A and B are shown apart, each in its own frame.
Chain A
Amino acid sequence: MTEDERASEDGTRSLTERLTPWRARETGANAGLTGRLVRRFAWLDASLLALIFGSTAIVVGAGLVQVSLGAYEMTIGQAWAAVVNPNVLFDPQAWDAFLLGEAVPEMRTESLIVWNIRLPRVLVAVLVGMNLAVSGAVFQAVTRNELASPFILGVSSGAGLAILLTLVAFAGVTLVVPLVVTEITLGLSALLPVIAAVGGIAAFLLVYAIAWKNGTSPVRLVLAGVIVSTVFGSLQTAMFFFADNIGVVQSAIQWTTGSLTGVDWEQVRIAIPWTVFGLALAIASARQLNVLLLGESTAKSLGMRVERMRFGLSAVAVLLAAASIAVAGIVSFVGLIVPHVVRNVVGSDYRKLLIGCLFAGPALLVAADVGARLALSPAQIPVGIVTGLVGGPYFLYLMRRQESLGEI
């Protein structure tokens, strides 16, 4: 062969030079610990930091609005003082009450209202926002489709159907749970959060079973999700038809559109363990998600068990979605929009994207909840309606601006 010049594109450089690691040459003596640290945190760049600070500012601002306004008259100063009231902030007994559900200790009325009624709502919004945003981002990687949402694999329809079945068909049923010393009798509606989450997870498993044929593919998963959602959606509507009274219907709608009305520390307690567990798993899987984005055959040739990974990651995302359904119902659009916004700001590296979602998700949901609470004050509308009203126009804007919407 005489195509030697092709064999050495950069023929003027010696092979030694070419094969000496570039990093080592560039950084020289600094290549030690500092160099490694720099590499380690290179992803924390300006755009991500700006997103984090901006989102945090929105959460804090909207949160302060939330704690300041309400039926009980107090000045803004009183409310803010109550938030930072050291007697509550550093009282372990109070935290036991909040996080473990023990008796709330004595405190001033303002503190009680702010800490026991208004703040938990903000906290639940933060948790739900994080869960939905990260869940949506994970699903978008798993299905390699920018238009995927936490509810794309049938989770919302399953949860909605489970809720309606409970409220309409089994309204009178009670469960008796035997414990060692006593037994508790629970109306099924007390178990609604659990039932909603279980319904969502069951629908997800059904979708997976339908999509499975010598393995799955993103397209088949999405199609199976559409099938299950359609059938379950019809069943939901049928259940409405059989509802006895308007109260049941309103309660069901509150669940299926997502609402933060009346949440308190109990909802925080329900959501926190799953949130921490799911978010930690999702963020630890950032690299797997990045590799999944390279396409199935590349991921496979890099040594990933694609099918197993896809199921595992979907399960984590469903868990996060189910945790948020359990405390707030089905809040639409957050899991769809937030990853989108974040991707536009920080790019598609999942390490940045997921961290960004952790901050931007709460920002959207806390802000939307301010709207839900104050728009038609004193009446409150479900926060899902506000996110839907914000989400639709945002997508219209995206559709107009971006030529190709869909593929990541």
Chain B
Amino acid sequence: MGERGFATDGGVGSILGRDDDSTADDDADDSPANASDGTGASEFSGDDLVIGYPNTDEPVIDGESIRVPPGEVTALVGPNGSGKSTLLKGLADQLSLDRGTVRVDGAAVHELGTKRLARKLGLLSQDSTAPNSITVEKLVAHGRYPHRGAFEALTDADWDAIDRAISLAGVDHLRDREVGQLSGGQQQLAWIAMALAQETDVLLLDEPTTFLDLRHQLQVMAIVERLRDESETTVVLVLHDIEQAAQYADHVVALEDGSVSARGPPEAVVTEELLADVFGVDAAVATTDHGPQVTPLRPLDDGDDGDETGGPDGERG
């Protein structure tokens, strides 16, 4: 059945109607299937965060606040070493905060029990490894961990969640394959399915598209879009690729040296000034239907980019 998934159909190549239309159709088709309707999307925010690693003195993130629009897609972008992954780990309670609080729906995450937190907040980290012989289905089933007692078996509700996650991630046809036999892109889809099976209100993804081929990058971003359109999941993702951020995110937060240098909708953040100041590249930015389109031209010399941040449209979040 799932074979058709993306093995043969037009997928990326074919042109359907506008996104909004198809979403409306979907909603009409199947309103009860939306995971968390009625309750509204989760508030997720971090205030005055100071985040560092245990073995370094200087915090990487020093006193930043971030407010994530509920039910939307927020992208953290920035050059290497700007602290975007650190910020995500701090938000996910993977790194303990030196100061500040992260709240989900008003509750401080470090005060929630680990399992309760894991039912509200999911994280797909970069350094996940699975034994090669585990099947995709088993891997996805681990996503139900926070919903089960220590010695409980999977309930029918768990299986339903696993099935939903597998089909949302488009890995039906890989269900019984061993993870070790899959390509890197397919493995990433399987990991995403695991995080989806966790059925959290907030989902954090750490560079989900890095190292993937173009097709799998698009598949990953398609899942993110469907999460936004068809459920009320709040998604925060670190993206290496600023063009992807410009294209898919509703809200972009640009980091430089551990501080937020700009935030706002992609059109306001992804500008030639920001690319020069934060990323140190000379680039042309054209406005298109898909959001700002970036054409990188050349790297700026180290002297050029300086440390001063943000254009006039910077700090507006």
Task: Please report A residues at the B interface, Cβ cutoff 8 Å.
Answer: 1-16, 18-24, 31, 36, 39-40, 213-214, 284, 287-288, 290-291, 293-295, 297-298, 300-305, 347-349, 407-408
Q: B17 on the interface (CB 8 Å rule)? A: yes
Residues on B with beta carbons closer than 8 Å to the beta carbon of A20: 163
- Looking at the assembled complex, report how far the CB atom of A56 sits from the nearest CB atom of chain B, in whole angstroms: 24
**Bound-complex Cα distance A6 to B290 (A):** 13
What is the minimal beta-carbon distance from B69 to any residue of chain A, in angstroms?
A: 16
> What would be 27 A-B contacts, judged by CB atoms less than 8 Å apart?
A4-B15, A4-B19, A5-B14, A6-B225, A7-B22, A7-B23, A11-B10, A11-B14, A14-B29, A15-B230, A19-B164, A21-B159, A21-B160, A22-B1, A22-B2, A23-B163, A214-B55, A293-B130, A295-B127, A297-B128, A300-B114, A301-B94, A347-B131, A348-B132, A348-B133, A348-B134, A349-B138
Complex: how many Å from CA A46 to CA B172?
25
Contact B131 A297 (CB under 8 A): no
Q: Any chain A CB within 8 A of the CB of B33?
A: yes
User: Which residues of chain B from 126 to 157 have any CB-CB distance to chain A below 8 Å in the complex?
Assistant: 127-134, 138-139, 142-143, 145-146, 150-151, 153-154, 156
**Any chain A CB within 8 A of the CB of B71?**
no
Q: B160 contacts which chain A residues (CB < 8 A)? A: 21, 24
Chain B residues with Cβ below 8 Å from A408 are 131
Q: Are A6 and B221 in contact (CB under 8 A)?
A: yes
Which residues of B have CB within 8 Å of A19?
30, 33, 164, 167-168
In contact, B166 and A22 (Cβ under 8 angstroms)? yes
The verdict on A9 contacting B163 (CB below 8 Å), with A16-B29, A302-B146 known, is no
Q: Are the CB atoms of B145 and A10 closer together than 8 Å?
A: no
Given A21-B159, A349-B138: A1 in contact with B225 (beta carbons within 8 A): yes
By the criterion CB–CB under 8 Å, are B154 and A39 in contact? yes
Chain B, interface residues (CB within 8 Å), range: 35 or more
CB-defined contacts of A14 to chain B, threshold 8 Å = 29-30
Nearest CB of A to B239, in Å: 15
**Contact assessment for A298 and B9 in the assembled complex, using a CB-CB cutoff below 8 Å:** no
Q: Is the CB of B94 within 8 A of A303?
A: no
Closest residue of B by beta carbon distance from A13: B4
Q: Mark B3-25, 1 if CB is under 8 A from A, else 0.
A: 01110011111111111001100
Complex-state Cα separation, A1 to B23, whole angstroms: 12
B201 to chain A, nearest CB (A): 14
B11 in contact with A1 (CB, 8 Å): no
Which 6 A-B pairs have CB atoms at the shortest separation, nearest pair first? A303-B118, A303-B146, A347-B133, A348-B131, A6-B222, A301-B123
Complex Cα distance, B119 from A10, in Å, reads 28
Chain B minimum-CB-distance residue to A300: B94
Also in contact, A16 and B33, with CB within 8 A (given A5-B12, A297-B125, A303-B119): yes
Q: What residues on A are CB-neighbors of B232 within 8 Å?
A: none
Choose among B14, B22, B145, B290 the residue that contacts A291 (Cβ–Cβ < 8 A).
B145
Query: C-beta contact mask, B112-126 vs A, less than 8 Å → 1, else 0?
Result: 001111110111110
- Map CB proximity to A onto B168-185 as digits: 1 under 8 Å, 0 otherwise: 101010010000000000
Cβ B123 vs Cβ A15 within 8 A: no
B26 contacts chain A at the CB level, 8 A cutoff:
yes
Interface check B312, CB cutoff 8 A: no
A15-B33, A15-B230, A40-B153 given as contacts; is B16 within 8 A of A5 (CB)? yes
A12-B118 in contact given A3-B247, A302-B145, A408-B131 (Cβ < 8 Å): no
The docked-state distance in angstroms from the alpha carbon of A10 to that of B145 is 28
Query: What residue in chain A is nearest B115 (Cβ atoms)?
Result: A303
> Could you say which residues of chain A place their CB within 8 Å of the CB of B229?
7
A214 touches B131 (CB 8 A): no
Given A14-B30, A290-B134, A294-B142, 15 new contacts (CB under 8 A): A1-B248, A2-B18, A3-B290, A4-B16, A7-B225, A8-B226, A9-B11, A10-B2, A10-B6, A19-B167, A19-B168, A20-B163, A23-B163, A297-B128, A302-B118
Chain B residues within an 8 Å CB radius of A407? 129
- Is the Cβ of B16 less than 8 Å from the Cβ of A10? no
The reply to whether the CB of B218 lies closer than 8 angstroms to some CB of chain A is: yes
Contact: B30 with A16, CB < 8 Å? Answer: yes
Tell me if B198 is interfacial: C-beta within 8 Å of chain A.
yes
Is B38 in contact with chain A by the CB < 8 A criterion? no
Q: Say whether B294 faces chain A, with CB atoms less than 8 Å apart.
A: no
The docked-state distance in angstroms from the alpha carbon of A15 to that of B32 is 11
Of A3, A12, A293, A302, which one neighbours B19 at CB under 8 angstroms? A3
Interface residues of B in 70-116 (CB under 8 A from A): 89, 92, 94, 114-116
Chain B residues positioned under 8 Å from A302 (CB to CB): 118, 142-143, 145-146, 198
B170 touches A10 (CB 8 A): yes
CB of A346 to closest CB in B, whole Å: 9
**Chain B residues positioned under 8 Å from A12 (CB to CB):** 4, 9
Q: Is B289 an interface residue (CB 8 A)?
A: yes
Chain A residues with CB under 8 A of B303: none
